[in-house]
C-alpha cells in the first residue's frame, strides 16, 4: 500500500536564476510544486510523491527533484539536502513551527549584528514581519521571516557617541 | 478559491510583496531578493495551507490584522 510523502530538497543556487527558470522548476516538480529562492545561496524545492516506504519515497523524491532541476536548468545537479516526511507529519509541522525556527529579540540581535535594544526598534518598523505570538516574555518570530526581511535591510549608521564630559 | 487568492494577493501587496501570475498560471511572490514560486493556484485545502505557510515564512501576515 502506498501513501503520499512530502519531499523538500535544497540545492546550491546556480548563479543568476530568472522567473522563467523558477517557474519551469515549480512546474516540473511532482504534486503542488513550490520553489523558494533566497536570492543568495540556496534554492529549496518541494513536492509530493507516492511510495510505500520512506526508503522508496526517498528514492522517488530524489529522482523527481533531480529530473525537475535538469528540466529547468538543462544540467544535472544533486541537492545538498533532502527531507522526506509523510504528508501527515508535514501538515503537523506547518501547523506548529519547530522550536529552532522560533526566535526572539536576542536571536534577532545576533542575526543582524545589533544590540537587543536595536532589534526591538527594528521590529517596530512597518515592514518587519509580524510576530507569531506575543507572550509576556516578548514577541516570538519565525526565523525564516526575519531572514527574508534581513536580506533587503540596509543598516543605517547610528548617531556617533557623545564624547564624555571633561 | 478565487476569493482566497484575491485576499492573499491583496494582503501580500499591501505588505510590500510583489505578486504576479505568469501566462502558464504560476504565481510568483517576491520580497527583496527572495522569491516564492508556486506551480499554480492551490486546489485543495492542503495546498492552500502550504501556500499560506510558505508566505508566512516569508513574513506575510495572513489573515491581515
* Residue-wise pLDDT tens digits, B2-52: 688 999 999 999 988 999 999 999 999 998 888 999 999 999 988 998 999
Nearest Cα neighbor of B18 from B38, B32, B39 is: B32
Return d(Cα A66, Cα A89) in angstroms, integer.
23
* Residue-wise pLDDT tens digits, A95-144: 766 555 788 898 899 888 899 999 999 998 888 888 877 777 888 888 87
Task: For residue B62, give how far its alpha carbon lies from the nearest alpha carbon of chain A (Å).
Answer: 10
Specify whether the backbone of B62 is left (phi greater than 0), alpha (psi in -120 to 50) or beta: beta
Look at A151 and B47 and tell me if their CB atoms are within 8 Å: no
End-to-end CA separation in angstroms for chain A: 82
Nearest Cα neighbor of A45 from A33, A57, A56 is: A33
**What is the pLDDT, as a whole number, of residue A166?**
47
Please report residues of B whose CB lies closer than 8 A to that of A36.
34-37, 54
Look at B37 and A34 and tell me if their CB atoms are within 8 Å: yes
Please report residues of A whose CB lies closer than 8 A to that of B57.
142, 144-145, 148
Which B residues, 6 through 25, put their C-beta within 8 Å of a C-beta on chain A?
15-16, 22, 24
According to DSSP, the β-strands at A42-51 and A81-86 are unpaired
C-alpha A3: how far from chain center: 26
Nearest Cα neighbor of A60 from A44, A47, A74, A72 is: A47
* Residue-wise pLDDT tens digits, A155-164: 777 665 565 5
As given in the structure block, the three cell numbers for residue A150 are: 534581513
Look up the pTM and report it: 0.75
Amino acid at each position: 500500500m502506498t501513501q503520499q510523502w512530502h519531499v523538500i530538497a535544497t540545492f546550491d543556487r546556480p548563479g543568476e536564476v530568472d522567473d522563467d527558470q523558477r517557474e519551469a522548476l515549480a512546474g516540473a516538480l511532482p504534486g503542488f510544486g513550490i520553489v523558494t529562492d533566497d536570492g543568495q545561496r540556496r534554492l529549496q524545492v518541494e513536492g509530493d510523491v507516492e511510495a510505500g516506504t520512506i526508503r522508496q519515497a526517498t528514492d522517488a523524491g530524489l529522482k523527481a527533484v533531480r529530473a525537475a532541476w535538469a528540466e529547468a536548468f538543462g544540467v544535472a545537479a544533486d541537492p545538498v539536502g533532502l527531507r522526506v516526511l509523510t504528508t501527515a507529519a508535514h501538515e503537523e509541522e506547518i501547523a506548529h513551527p519547530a522550536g529552532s525556527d522560533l526566535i526572539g529579540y536576542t536571536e534577532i540581535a545576533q542575526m543582524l549584528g545589533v544590540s537587543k535594544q536595536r532589534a526591538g526598534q527594528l521590529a517596530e518598523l512597518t515592514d518587519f514581519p509580524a510576530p507569531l505570538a506575543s507572550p509576556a516574555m516578548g514577541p516570538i518570530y519565525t526565523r525564516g521571516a526575519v531572514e527574508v526581511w534581513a536580506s533587503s535591510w540596509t543598516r543605517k549608521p547610528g548617531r556617533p557617541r557623545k564624547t564624555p564630559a571633561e | 478559491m478565487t476569493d482566497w487568492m484575491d485576499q492573499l494577493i491583496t494582503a501580500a501587496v499591501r505588505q510590500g510583496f510583489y505578486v504576479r501570475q505568469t501566462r502558464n498560471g504560476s504565481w510568483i511572490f517576491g520580497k527583496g531578493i527572495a522569491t516564492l514560486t508556486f506551480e499554480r493556484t492551490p486546489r485543495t485545502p492542503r495546498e492552500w495551507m502550504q501556500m499560506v505557510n510558505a508566505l508566512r515564512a516569508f513574513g506575510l501576515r495572513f489573515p491581515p490584522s
